[in-house]
């Protein structure tokens, strides 16, 4: 009998997530039957939405989440042993997948020498949020000025690089000097540290002398109100997330922006990456091509050990990750050494951001 480790919700999150909010349990899985297959988790995706969706959780349910795993047993010819699959299987070490299950699951296309972990980052939901959420909603035009918040994270760093591919001027808003230096390295034209700036609007005016045409909003709240008040006529805003509010126990208040939306006829649209499921492979293949062409760089913050997953999630809400936050379920799944960005950065010309 196969045993799986599973995280269940022990307490509905309130304010900051605590380790005791999730419980590590063991579950026995029955033998694989016809048309079923068994997936061994390699990487868990650690995402801010896990905090945002907490109001929908019930105590005892398996913790939601997307993972990349290997098929280790199969009686389903479409999902043979050895393939890497990506799916919303939740936080569990092994999953028995049945044909009747309602998972969004697919085999990862060949990524060559790249680590499979990118299935959850540039090639996963954050990558789709960046690709579809930016291109379809912001509709960038060459020469546009684009602002991205939570720019040092998985989605934000990706959006900024697509904006550079589209020949835009890109301003990133982020919460640490290390992230700021990385964004400069990626080609962002101007970076603002929202935690240390004395005047965000003044910094934005400096970075965007021609005003802002596109805003990719990952954070909501007052940062976003400030950005939107500086937008140009007909500006486009893609509302991807509102992480500044996820831990709030009482609803946050922010400056009123409706007068600017009306006067400048701004377009605001929210989205979820999964609404683009029917075009998923278009986004995945384009993002993969950009990575292979070295036009799209990515960075991962990997926490080792299934038993450390809750701490990894707590860290994302505190800004501890740079790029995509992941849990490597077992040390034996090490596929690659982390890229030495500090070394790469030391070779990079002197940082000239204004923060």
Max CA distance (Å), the chain: 65
Q: Please identify, among the stretches 32-40, 96-104, 251-259, 269-277, the one whose residues bind ligand NAP according to the rule CB under 6 A.
A: 269-277
* In the complex, least distance from residue 85 CB atom to ligand NAP, rounded to whole angstroms: 20
Asked whether the CA dihedral 290, 70, 47, 353 is positive or negative, the reply is negative
Q: Please identify, among the stretches 4-12, 79-87, 197-205, 271-279, the one whose residues bind ligand NAP according to the rule CB under 6 A.
A: 271-279
Asked whether the CA dihedral 315, 318, 320, 321 is positive or negative, the reply is positive
Q: Which residues contact 147 (CB under 8 A, 6 or more apart)?
A: 170, 171, 172, 173, 204, 208, 212, 214, 215, 216, 227
CB closest to ligand NAP, residue no: 153
**Interaction between residue 283 and ligand NAP (CB under 6 A):** no
User: Using the rule CB under 6 A, which residue among 226, 244, 287, 303 binds ligand NAP?
Assistant: 244
| CA-CA-CA-CA dihedral for 243, 155, 263, 226, to nearest 10 | 50
Q: Please identify, among the stretches 11-19, 65-73, 147-155, 227-235, the one whose residues bind ligand NAP according to the rule CB under 6 A.
A: 147-155
Instruction: Looking at residues 22 to 61 of the shown chain, list those that interact with ligand NAP (rule: CB under 6 A).
Output: 47-49, 52
Number of residues that bind ligand NAP (CB under 6 A): 32
268: exposed, middle or buried (C-beta count within 10 Å: 0-12, 13-18, 19+)?
middle
Q: The tokens of 101 are what?
A: 């299950």
Structural element, H or E, at residue 155: helix 154-165
**Interaction between residue 319 and ligand NAP (CB under 6 A):** yes
Site string for ligand NAP, 96-115 (x = CB under 6 A): --------------------
**Interaction between residue 227 and ligand NAP (CB under 6 A):** no
Structural element, H or E, at residue 39: strand 37-45
Measured from the CB atom, the residue of 187 and 270 that comes closer to ligand NAP is 270
User: Using the rule CB under 6 A, which residue among 67, 117, 226, 273 binds ligand NAP?
Assistant: 273
Measured from the CB atom, the residue of 79 and 194 that comes closer to ligand NAP is 194
Whole-angstrom distance, CA of residue 10 vs CA of residue 54: 12
Binding site for ligand NAP (CB under 6 A): 47-49, 52, 125-126, 129, 150, 152-156, 174-176, 179, 218-219, 240-244, 271-273, 316-317, 319, 321, 325
């Amino acid at each position: 009998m196969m045993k799986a480790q599973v995280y269940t919700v022990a307490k509905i999150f309130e304010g900051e997530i605590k380790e005791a909010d999730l419980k590590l349990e063991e579950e026995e899985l029955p033998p694989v039957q016809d048309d079923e297959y068994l997936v061994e988790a390699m990487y868990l995706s650690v995402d801010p939405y896990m905090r945002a969706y907490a109001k929908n959780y019930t105590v005892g349910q398996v913790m939601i989440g997307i993972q990349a795993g290997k098929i280790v047993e199969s009686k389903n010819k479409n999902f043979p042993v050895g393939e890497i699959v990506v799916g919303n299987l939740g936080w569990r070490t092994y999953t028995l997948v049945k044909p009747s299950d309602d998972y969004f699951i697919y085999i990862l296309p060949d990524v060559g020498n790249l680590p499979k972990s990118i299935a959850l980052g540039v090639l996963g939901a954050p990558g789709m949020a960046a690709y579809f959420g930016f291109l379809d909603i912001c509709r960038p035009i060459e020469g546009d000025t684009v602002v991205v918040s939570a720019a040092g994270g998985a989605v934000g760093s990706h959006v900024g690089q697509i904006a550079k591919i589209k020949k835009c001027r890109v301003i990133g808003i982020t919460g640490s000097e290390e992230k700021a230096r990385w964004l400069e390295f990626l080609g962002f034209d101007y970076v603002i540290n929202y935690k240390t700036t004395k005047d965000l609007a003044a910094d934005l005016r400096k970075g965007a002398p021609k005003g802002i045409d596109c805003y990719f909003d990952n954070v909501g709240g007052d940062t976003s109100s400030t950005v939107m008040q500086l937008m140009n006529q007909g500006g486009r805003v893609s509302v991807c997330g509102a992480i500044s509010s996820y831990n709030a126990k009482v609803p946050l208040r922010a400056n009123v922006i409706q007068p600017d939306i009306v006067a400048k006829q701004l377009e605001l649209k929210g989205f979820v990456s999964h609404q683009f499921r029917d075009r998923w492979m278009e986004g995945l293949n384009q993002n993969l091509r950009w990575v292979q062409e070295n036009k799209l760089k990515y960075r991962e913050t990997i926490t080792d050990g299934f038993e450390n997953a809750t701490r990894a999630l707590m860290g994302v809400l505190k800004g501890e990750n740079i790029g995509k936050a992941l849990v490597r379920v077992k040390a034996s799944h090490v596929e690659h050494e982390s890229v030495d960005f500090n070394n790469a950065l030391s070779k990079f010309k002197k940082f000239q951001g204004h923060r």
